[in-house]
Structure 1
Amino acid sequence: MSTVPSTTNNTGTSSTPNVNSALSSTMTQADFLKLMTAQLQAQDPTNPVDNSQFVSQMAQFSQLSATQQLDTDLQSMSSNVTSNMQTSQVLSSANLVNRQVLVPGSSASYDGSDAVKGAVNVTAASSVTVQVLDSSGNVIRSLPLGSQNAGLAQFSWDGKDDNGNAVAAGTYTVKAAAGSASLDTYLQGTVTGVGFGGSSVGTYLQVSGVGGVPLSQVAQIL
């Protein structure tokens, strides 16, 4: 799996004043009407505004009004399209309910009976080990996965410590490493619900044993 590099917009700061300046200098429909009214009031009665010039100004006023209305309609349309897309995504994601998925995570809820399953994101062929830690940070179980190729390497913890004793139900931490290099872990769980968490989160899945996870973070559907 690849890592998306962070990027910095070097031009965003310097362009902001120019954008604000352009917006502040834009003539609105009301400004245009005030200007025309003032022109008519201040005209010389002996030399009134030429008819063709006045008609041209009225045409510009009409064009401005139509443009502003078009902009309003487009914004409304865009909002409706976005809302419809969000609804459609939530509805289509409902097909994942009761399906098993792999999602990023290192904090697993063990119910005392079902094995905790997951995967390790192996970045290069290497020998991988998964560790399970209790709430005090003590390693209670080590799961050597042996040599693994790059990709997702599956693991399963049966809820027992290194001495073969069953541990109590609770929340445990899962860590993975290849030598001294830490590796990202994914946990497997059942999708129990789907929702929309706003524009910053988008569609999310409620995954058993993990919690709410953005749909975009699902690594695998099993």
Structure 2
Amino acid sequence: MTINTNNTTGTAGSGNAAGQAGKAASAGGMTQSDFLKLMTAQLQAQDPTNPVDNNQFVSQMAQFSQLQSSQDMVSAVNTLNSTVNGALQTSQVLGSSNLVDRQVVVPASTINYSGTAVSGAANVTVPGKLTVNIINANGDVVRTMAVDAPSSGLTQFSWDGKDDAGNALPSGSYKMAASNGGSSFDTYVAGKVTAVGYGGSDVGTYLQVAGVGGVALSQVAQIL
């Protein structure tokens, strides 16, 4: 309903409910209650000698209904998205359960040595002779291994827990670094999956990997 400021006796202001509702709705601020209050205020402010046009009033009521329908649709879509996402998350966790007791290769900069050989890998971007250094807690390089990397991609290597002199090293955490000339590469370690879980929307499905801890499923580079 269009209100002429020259004919109004109230203080609701100019403009019609539909127009103002459209602007507010586009800004994300109009609700069903706001729309109804605005229409009521305009009806109270109308000039008795110049009543509301019936066609305009019916048009605004139709827009009021449309606004409510749109809000109901948004609510229904949000509910559906939540339901679908929950189902997908559950399906992904259940589907990943077959990885339990499997070996996976995941990003890691350390190796947890416990008396048996440890498998690792480097993501080589420049093929050639790869140098892998094993570093103890004091920052000393205790083992240097030369590994052939004939092509780009994951290059596997294994450390038997010995230093360069062939002496067995104590169990513990060791850092590893892989390079090829002047290029350094990301390192990975292989470990057994002991459990699967869901870590919330920020993490998603994760694997509990022995010697590494929790790792997002999306970070698994290889399944052995």
TM-score, normalized by length of structure 1?
0.84
Quick check: which has more Rg, 1 or 2?
2
Counterpart residue type for residue 199 of structure 1: S
Q: Which residue pairs with 1:212 in the alignment? A: 214
SS at match of 1:137: coil
Would the alpha carbon gap of residues 128 and 35 (structure 1) be closer, same or farther in structure 2, given more than 3 Å must change?
A: same
Would the alpha carbon gap of residues 194 and 147 (structure 1) be closer, same or farther in structure 2, given more than 3 Å must change?
A: closer
Unaligned regions of 5+ residues in structure 2, if any? Answer: 1-23
CA distance in 2 between partners of 1:152 and 1:35 (Å): 65
| Corresponding pairs, count | 201
Would the alpha carbon gap of residues 197 and 140 (structure 1) be closer, same or farther in structure 2, given more than 3 Å must change?
A: same
CA contact (8 A) 2:133 2:143 kept: yes
CA distance in 1 between partners of 2:117 and 2:212 (Å): 14
Counterpart residue type for residue 156 of structure 1: S
For the pair 1:110 / 2:110, whether they are aligned, the reply is no
Deviation at 1:93, TM superposition (A): 1.0
Q: Which residue pairs with 2:183 in the alignment? A: 181
CA distance in 1 between partners of 2:223 and 2:149 (Å): 24
Q: Which residue pairs with 1:132 in the alignment? A: 134
For the pair 1:121 / 2:123, whether they are aligned, the reply is yes
Deviation at 1:46, TM superposition (A): 4.2
Unaligned regions of 5+ residues in structure 1, if any? Answer: 1-19
CA distance in 2 between partners of 1:215 and 1:175 (Å): 24
Q: Which residue pairs with 1:10 in the alignment? A: none
Deviation at 1:22, TM superposition (A): 5.1
CA distance in 2 between partners of 1:163 and 1:138 (Å): 14
Q: What do you get for the CA RMSD once the two structures are aligned?
A: 1.9
CA distance in 2 between partners of 1:67 and 1:134 (Å): 63
Structure 1 residue ranges, 4+ long, deviating more than 4 angstroms after superposition: none
Q: Which residue pairs with 2:33 in the alignment? A: 30
After superposition, the C-alpha distances for 1:47-81 in whole angstroms (9 at most, x for unaligned) are 43233332222111111111111111111111221
Q: Which residue pairs with 2:197 in the alignment? A: 195
TM-score, normalized by length of structure 2?
0.83
Q: Which residue pairs with 1:101 in the alignment? A: 104
SS at match of 1:82: helix
Q: Which residue pairs with 1:44 in the alignment? A: 47
